[in-house]
């Protein structure tokens, strides 16, 4: 079973719709026991970094997530991906989950609008279990981006600057884009995640 | 590099996709969910549902269409038509829409744009505009499906929309809409020069070359069309193949 972590700041239903469509058994949950029983975890997220981290902390799930990723895969999506890093700088400095080295900062592409909205191409940096080749177009909606070591980046995208699009560290994966809104390419990635 | 988007638009009335033909009656095109699935297969980058029912019962039917589509189609969905309050935004997003489009009601109550952007985020607030060239050399904004002139200058309006935090503008030209002679290049440039948020070109597309023309001559981020796709004159993948030969980045 794949647990979709419900802590009050997620685009849970599009993720759930996509997993249901793929026939992947899943449960939207805020119970620590469900997270412990799950085969893998998905951390969605929409909104602002400080609020989302506060809600996640108040849900009491931070320690459970940190323990469980020692044993099972986790996929963070969009803000859920950003929360995997050590720190976020949206409005104020906020501690993240610290599962991947690096921090999250406001994007500064030259002469391009923020937020970065639309379909952009994945440029392979380092293959991982969710992405072998790159070249796929996936759907992005974000204003902040990760600043992290290249060794944790599976793929970048180009938006006036190199943006870490898919990151990983051991069991932990993070997609800055929305695989659940990225057509076939996104569904393919979710399918691979469900096989981990 | 960001891809240019091709967006089929589905006008929905009482749960059916329809297309007006010369103001006289409307033609029933088919089931919105089935059409959405078909356009998704063709490679549509986003889908727009436009509710032209404008009744309380119709609203529920529309939300059900959105919900059923979101269960089967995994590209962004934008829903517009009759959106007049934050509650309408919330209901539509909850049904599974990723973006909500406001038009007339935003002109009457611009605060709706800033309130929605603050609560739900700029990325889901699309402002639709119907505009027409005026005799002073500029453009005027109309509401109620292009019937009522608001004496509002298009330049002032797009600036206000942008400052209030809208995520995108969908610009429909009353002069070119339905004429099939191409998108309104001058009006699109007029708007693209004044805002940094993405502009979606709408109204006037009659053949495949009009898609390459709009991306070569303007900074539009996306092009929207309805009847060309509904009447199967073109498929989305044919349009994208054409754009590729013009070196315009598209998702394939």
Angle at B195 between CA B189 and CA B198, to 5 degrees: 80
Model ipTM? 0.89
How confident is residue A9, by pLDDT bands cut at 50, 70 and 90? Answer: low
Flag whether residue A21 sits within 8 Å of chain B, measured between CB atoms.
yes
Give the Cα separation of B102 and B125 in Å (integer): 8
The pair phi, psi for residue A124, each rounded to 5°, is: -60, 130
How confident is residue B250, by pLDDT bands cut at 50, 70 and 90? Answer: very high
Q: Is the residue at B53 inside a domain?
A: yes
Query: Domain limits at B136?
Result: 5-245
Query: Domain limits at A172?
Result: 2-194
> Could you tell me what percent of chain A has a pLDDT over 90?
86
Q: Is the residue at B172 inside a domain?
A: yes
Q: Is the residue at B251 inside a domain?
A: no
Q: Is the residue at B250 inside a domain?
A: no
- pLDDT value at residue B18: 87
**Edge-to-edge order in the sheet of strand A2-5:** A26-29, A2-5, A40-43, A74-77, A172-175, A162-169, A153-158, A123-124
How confident is residue B23, by pLDDT bands cut at 50, 70 and 90? Answer: very low
- Percent composition of chain A: helix, strand, coil (DSSP 3-state, to 5): 30, 35, 35
Task: Point out the residue among B3, B70, B167 whose CB comes nearest to the CB of A137.
Answer: B3
Q: Would the CA dihedral through B111, B114, B115, B120 be positive or negative? A: positive
Q: Is the residue at B46 inside a domain?
A: yes
Number of separate domains in chain A:
1
User: Model confidence over B24-56: pLDDT tens digits?
Assistant: 566 788 899 999 999 999 999 999 999 987 667
Number of separate domains in chain B:
1
Q: Is the residue at B252 inside a domain?
A: no
Q: Is the residue at B140 inside a domain?
A: yes
User: Model confidence over B199-239: pLDDT tens digits?
Assistant: 999 999 999 999 999 999 999 999 999 989 988 999 999 99
- pLDDT value at residue B54: 63
Whole-model pTM?
A: 0.93
Query: Which CATH number goes with the domain that contains B14?
Result: 3.20.20.70
Chain A residue with CA closest to B162: the answer is A113
Flag whether residue A161 sits within 8 Å of chain B, measured between CB atoms.
no
Helix spans in chain B (H): 32-42, 56-70, 86-94, 104-108, 111-120, 154-163, 185-192, 209-217, 227-230, 236-245
Query: Which CATH number goes with the domain that contains A9?
Result: 3.40.50.880
Average pLDDT across chain A, whole number? 94
Nearest-neighbour CA in chain B from A10: distance (Å): 12
């Amino acid at each position: 079973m794949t647990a979709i972590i419900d802590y009050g700041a997620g685009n849970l239903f599009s993720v759930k719709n996509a997993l249901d469509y793929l026939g992947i058994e899943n449960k939207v949950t805020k119970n620590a026991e469900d997270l412990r029983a799950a085969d893998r975890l998905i951390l969605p997220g929409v909104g602002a970094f400080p609020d989302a981290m506060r809600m996640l902390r108040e849900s009491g799930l931070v320690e459970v997530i940190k323990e469980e990723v020692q044993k099972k895969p986790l996929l963070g999506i969009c803000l859920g991906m950003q929360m995997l890093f050590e720190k976020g700088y949206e409005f104020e400095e906020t501690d993240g989950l610290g599962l991947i080295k690096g921090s999250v900062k406001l994007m500064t592409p030259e002469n391009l609008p923020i937020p970065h909205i639309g379909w952009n191409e994945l440029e392979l940096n380092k293959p991982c279990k969710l992405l072998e080749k790159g070249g796929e177009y996936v759907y992005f909606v974000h204003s902040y981006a990760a600043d992290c070591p290249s060794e944790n980046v599976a793929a970048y995208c180009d938006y006036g600057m190199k943006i870490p699009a898919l990151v990983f560290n051991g069991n932990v994966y993070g997609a800055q884009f929305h695989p659940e809104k990225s057509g076939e390419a996104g569904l393919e990635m979710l399918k691979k995640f469900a096989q981990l | 590099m960001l891809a240019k988007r091709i967006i089929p638009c589905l006008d929905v009335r009482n749960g059916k996709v329809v297309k007006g033909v010369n103001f006289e009656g409307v033609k029933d095109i088919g089931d919105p969910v089935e059409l959405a699935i078909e356009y998704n297969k063709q490679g549509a980058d986003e889908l727009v549902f436009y509710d032209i029912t404008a009744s309380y019962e119709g609203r529920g039917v529309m939300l059900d269409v959105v919900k059923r589509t979101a269960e089967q189609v995994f590209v962004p969905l934008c829903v517009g038509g009759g959106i007049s309050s934050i509650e309408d935004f919330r209901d539509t997003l909850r049904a599974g829409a990723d973006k909500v489009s406001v038009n007339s009601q935003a002109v009457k109550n611009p605060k709706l744009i800033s309130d929605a952007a603050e609560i739900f985020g700029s990325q889901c607030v699309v402002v639709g505009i119907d505009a027409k060239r005026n005799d002073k050399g500029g453009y005027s904004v109309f509401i109620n499906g292009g019937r009522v002139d608001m004496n509002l200058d298009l330049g002032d309006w797009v600036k206000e929309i942008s400052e209030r935090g809208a995520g995108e503008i969908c610009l429909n030209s009353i002069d070119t809409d339905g004429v099939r002679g191409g998108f309104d290049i001058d009006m699109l440039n007029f708007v693209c020069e004044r805002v940094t948020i993405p502009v979606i070109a709408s109204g006037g597309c009659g053949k495949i070359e009009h898609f390459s023309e709009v991306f070569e001559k303007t900074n539009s981020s996306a092009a929207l069309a309805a009847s060309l796709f509904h009447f199967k004159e073109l498929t989305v993948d044919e349009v994208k193949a054409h754009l590729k030969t013009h070196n315009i980045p598209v998702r394939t």
